[in-house]
Amino acid sequence: MKSYKGRGVVLHTLKYGDSSMVVYLLTDVGGRRSYMVQGVRSTRGHGSKLALFQPMFTLEFEGLESHRQEMHRFREVHSGQVLQSLPFDIRKSTVALFMAEVLYRLVRESEPNEALFDFVWSSVGALDSLQEGTANFHLWFLVNLSRLLGFFPGNGYAEGDWFDVREGLYTPLQPAHGLAMNPHDARILRDMVECDVRCLAEIGLNRRERVDFLGALLGYYGYHLDAIHAVRSVGILREVF
């Protein structure tokens, strides 16, 4: 077996047998990869490892690759970032669950993508350290993730613009095809593009505005990536925020 060192972010887990699980990671060394973790659910010896594999938790590991098996394994694995608030704050853990599911549904490539990985890794740290603005974080994450997925807004914003979902452009007039964000949502989109993540609280949105903009954003994603419609944690977000 060939060994290698890497970093990863937990996207999803599946129970396997009585005491094992399959862990899906976004990794720096090979994009999305799956790992078999044996004995993680055992009450003897390795039970504490289960806490490592929560949605959006970061890992540093030594992996084992076998040409005879599709799934990789861990020789060693431990926490990548010491998280101070995310595991204990229900609002942040809800956002993390959504982020992990979005990435699990949308990212399928098994090739390294340094820009995507760095954005996701740093987003975990940003969410954990955020003092205010948690309610807007999932919106900021989706907007800025679109840059890495290839359909980020392609031009500058002017006051009163619509946003053409099909073309990915701000436009002064409502597009005839009807696939567009209205001027209010287009302005929020601009704000999310320009906002430093540490200043998210300064984008003053009420609950209805968040729900409406999330719906518009999911429509934008859905036009480009149909898999977004399978994300189930959207309903939980709408309840919490």
Q: What is the pLDDT of residues 181-231, one digit of tens each?
A: 999 999 999 999 999 999 999 999 999 999 999 999 999 999 999 999 999
| Phi and psi torsions of 153, nearest 5° | -50, 130
Tokens at 204, concatenated? 């003053």
- Going along the chain from its start, the domains and CATH numbers come out as 2-79 (2.40.50.140), 130-240 (no CATH)
Identify the H or E element spanning 9: strand 2-16
What distance in Å separates the CA atoms of residue 228 and residue 43, rounded to the nearest whole number?
Answer: 37
**Beta-carbon neighbour count of residue 184 at 10 Å?**
12
Average pLDDT, the chain: 93
Residue 223: C-alpha distances to residues 54, 75, 155, 227 (Å): 30, 41, 19, 10
pLDDT at 44: 58
Q: How far is CA 231 from the centre of its chain?
A: 11
d(CA 133, CA 139): 11
Q: What is the model's pLDDT at position 4? A: 96
